[in-house]
């Protein structure tokens, strides 16, 4: 049911009955390593290309999620997924392996919540009972796609971010136990004219602020409704910009309640990752792993995940275009049994 | 490095430059292949990017990156992805400078 300009409320409460998260070697050394279902010690995952490795992670995340839910592949009706590679090949090739009806999405790093919002919508409307929403990114595959060869010695500025090697998949179901999807806010494209691909956090921050503001306005809520508001991959730079923007819009969000998946995944001030993590896999693995685990432990009851995406291509920025950005928000709620 | 060749192999100060550059290129490619060069570059900055080592790194890294697309279209087609523009503009600017010099000598000659 639509509420306000751009939000959906799900009265039937679609439920995330299980999730699968896969991480790479660098994520395995991070503070959230324990929240992953599967960690790999090798960036190649035994494959002969990074693209194949990315695909493998996506397949493993889906398989883990299906297994943990106690389901079989044939019980899943739809597969909604996207990634960062050209023509979203990782998702499409995973769909080939799963042989489940498939809808391919592209929202750059916002794909995780774009998929979850759409998945929630499908299940809420009873157009499907079990479906998988997933997304994946691979550091080296993304570097190759968007920047320079991985071993090329270019110097990156401090505003740059580190693409997460990881895949996250969630099974959204019409029944079962788990965190429920209560509402979603679909973002508008916000382009403030920034064109530096090494400062995507800064470019995406206004989009995150716009979506959060819209969410509160549409649903007539304030930050008090949520125990945690997490943005997707703004990094340190974008996180601080968004805090300033909230002040400007006179929207109060206490800093201890407001975090960013890109800051959580590697811990703050890690020299290798510059401003923080980014990529499709960032918000997906942190949300489906760390944040849902904290919800299940009873630490958090209601959270708002705002996945942010920079919708640029290597060609668009070489042609000096600015970066259009988007953010999608999904609200999750968990009731402990009994 | 140049001193090494002068002392041990009897190169002159001028001719020692060639083997020195060759060894620097070799080191650069080896460090790239071992996955260390990009870390050194992040720390050392332009010093690693500008000279011949940076050129070798840009070719070796592109060749490694695109190996999965095959030897002809992958390695062969992408090796000069980054280095190509250096060659294009290097040759072009050399041509322009040579042209200016030729014109000047001709004018001076007349």
Of A51, A144, A148, the CB nearest to B82: A148
Nearest CA in chain A to B45: A155
Q: What is the mean pLDDT of residues A34-59?
A: 94
Please answer yes or no on whether B38 and A154 come within 8 Å at the CB atom.
yes
Torsion angles phi and psi, residue A109, rounded to 5: -75, -5
Best interface-test mutation with A: which of B24, B35, B38 has the largest number of A CBs within 10 A? B38
Please answer yes or no on whether A152 and B62 come within 8 Å at the CB atom.
yes
Pair A124, A10: CB distance under 8 Å: yes
Q: What percent of chain A has pLDDT over 70?
A: 99
Structure tokens at A209: 């602020």
Task: State how far residue B77 is from chain A, nearest Cα, in angstroms.
Answer: 14
Torsion angles phi and psi, residue B29, rounded to 5: -65, -40
Which ranges in chain A are annotated with CATH 3.40.47.40? Answer: 8-173, 180-333
Which tens digits make up the pLDDT trace of B3-58? 888 887 778 878 888 888 888 889 888 888 888 888 888 887 766 666 688 888 88
Please answer yes or no on whether A155 and B61 come within 8 Å at the CB atom.
no
A38 vs A199: CA distance, rounded Å: 30
Pair A238, A263: CB distance under 8 Å: no
DSSP symbols for B8-60: HH---TTTTHHHHHHHHHHHHHHHHHTT-HHHHHHHHTHHHHSSHHHHHHHHH
Please answer yes or no on whether B65 and A49 come within 8 Å at the CB atom.
no
As to burial, measured by CB atoms within 10 angstroms (0-12 exposed, 13-18 middle, 19+ buried), residue A266 is: buried
Average pLDDT score, chain A = 93
Task: State how far residue A143 is from chain B, nearest Cα, in angstroms.
Answer: 10
Interface of B with A (CB under 8 A): 32-33, 35, 37-38, 40-42, 45-46, 48-49, 54, 57-58, 60-62, 64-66, 68, 81-82
Which tens digits make up the pLDDT trace of A213-258? 999 999 999 999 999 999 999 999 999 999 999 999 988 899 899 9
Torsion angles phi and psi, residue B102, rounded to 5: -60, -45
For residue A337, the model assigns a pLDDT of 65
Contacts of B48 in chain A (CB under 8 A): 153
pLDDT at A107 over 90: yes
Nearest CA in chain B to A145: B65
Please answer yes or no on whether B42 and A148 come within 8 Å at the CB atom.
no
Which tens digits make up the pLDDT trace of A125-174? 999 999 999 999 999 999 998 888 888 877 888 899 999 999 999 999 99
What separation in angstroms does the CA of A27 have from each of A65, A83, A310, B35?
Answer: 19, 18, 22, 19
Third-level CATH fold of A8-173: Peroxisomal Thiolase; Chain A, domain 1 (3.40.47)
The CATH number assigned to the domain with range A180-333 reads: 3.40.47.40
Best interface-test mutation with B: which of A151, A156, A157, A318 has the largest number of B CBs within 10 A? A151
A79 vs A82: CA distance, rounded Å: 10
Greater confidence (B44 vs A182) lies with: A182
| Total-model pTM | 0.91
Nearest CA in chain B to A141: B65
Q: Identify the three-state secondary structure at position B93.
A: helix
Task: State how far residue A127 is from chain B, nearest Cα, in angstroms.
Answer: 41
For residue A64, the model assigns a pLDDT of 96
Element (H, E) at A177: none
β-pair partners for A78:
A131
Nearest CA in chain A to B69: A49
For residue A338, the model assigns a pLDDT of 45
For A273, other C-beta atoms within 10 Å of its C-beta total: 24
pLDDT at A181 over 90: yes
Q: Which of A236, A261, A257 shows the shortest CA–CA distance to A168?
A: A261
Which tens digits make up the pLDDT trace of B48-98? 666 688 888 888 888 988 988 889 988 988 888 888 888 899 899 999 999
pLDDT at A284 over 60: yes
Please answer yes or no on whether B42 and A50 come within 8 Å at the CB atom.
no
Write the CB contacts of A165 (distance below 8 Å, at least 6 apart in sequence): A23, A24, A25, A26, A27, A43, A57, A137, A138, A139, A140, A281
β-pair partners for A269:
none
Largest CA distance in chain A: 58
Pair A319, A165: CB distance under 8 Å: no
As to burial, measured by CB atoms within 10 angstroms (0-12 exposed, 13-18 middle, 19+ buried), residue B84 is: middle
Which tens digits make up the pLDDT trace of A295-333? 999 999 999 999 999 999 999 989 999 999 999 999 999
């Amino acid at each position: 049911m639509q509420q306000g300009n751009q939000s959906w409320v799900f009265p039937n409460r679609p439920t995330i009955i299980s999730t699968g998260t896969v991480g790479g070697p660098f994520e395995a050394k991070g503070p959230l390593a324990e929240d992953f279902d599967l960690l790999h010690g090798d960036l190649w995952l035994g494959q002969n290309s990074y693209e194949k490795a990315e695909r493998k992670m996506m397949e493993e995340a889906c398989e883990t999620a299906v297994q943990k839910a106690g389901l079989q592949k044939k019980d899943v009706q739809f597969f909604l997924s996207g990634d960062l590679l050209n023509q979203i090949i990782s998702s499409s090739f995973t769909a080939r392996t799963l042989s489940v009806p498939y809808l391919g999405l592209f929202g750059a790093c916002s794909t995780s919540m774009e998929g979850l919002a759409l998945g929630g919508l499908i299940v809420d409307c009873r157009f499907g009972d079990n479906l998988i929403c997933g997304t994946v990114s691979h550091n080296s595959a993304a570097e190759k796609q968007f920047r320079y060869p991985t071993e090329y010695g270019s110097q990156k500025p401090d505003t740059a971010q580190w693409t997460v090697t990881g895949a996250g998949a969630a099974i959204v179901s019409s029944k079962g136990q788990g965190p429920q999807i209560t509402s979603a806010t679909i973002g508008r494209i916000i382009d403030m004219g920034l064109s530096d691909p090494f400062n995507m956090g800064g470019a995406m921050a206004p989009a995150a602020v716009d979506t959060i503001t819209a969410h509160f306005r549409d649903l007539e809520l304030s930050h008090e409704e949520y125990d945690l508001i997490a943005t997707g991959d703004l990094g340190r730079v974008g996180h601080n910009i968004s805090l300033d923007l909230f002040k400007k819009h006179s929207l109060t969000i206490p800093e201890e309640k407001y975090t960013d998946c890109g800051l959580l995944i590697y811990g703050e001030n890690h020299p290798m990752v510059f401003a923080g993590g980014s990529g499709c896999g960032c918000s997906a693995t942190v949300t489906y792993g760390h944040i849902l685990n904290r919800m299940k432990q009873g630490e958090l009851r209601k959270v708002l995940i705002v996945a942010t995406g920079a919708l640029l291509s290597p060609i668009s920025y070489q042609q000096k275009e600015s970066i259009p950005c988007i953010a999608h928000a999904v609200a999750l709620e968990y009731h402990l049994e009994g | 490095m140049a001193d090494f060749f002068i002392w041990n192999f009897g190169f002159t100060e001028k001719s020692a430059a060639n083997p020195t550059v060759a060894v620097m290129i070799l080191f650069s490619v080896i460090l790239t292949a071992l996955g260390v060069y990009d870390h050194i570059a992040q720390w050392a900055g332009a010093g690693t990017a500008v000279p011949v080592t940076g050129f070798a790194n840009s070719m070796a890294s592109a060749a490694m990156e695109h190996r999965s697309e095959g030897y002809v279209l992958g390695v062969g087609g992408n090796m000069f992805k980054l280095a190509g523009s250096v060659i294009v503009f290097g040759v072009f600017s050399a041509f322009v400078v040579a042209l200016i010099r030729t014109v000047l000598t001709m004018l001076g000659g007349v």
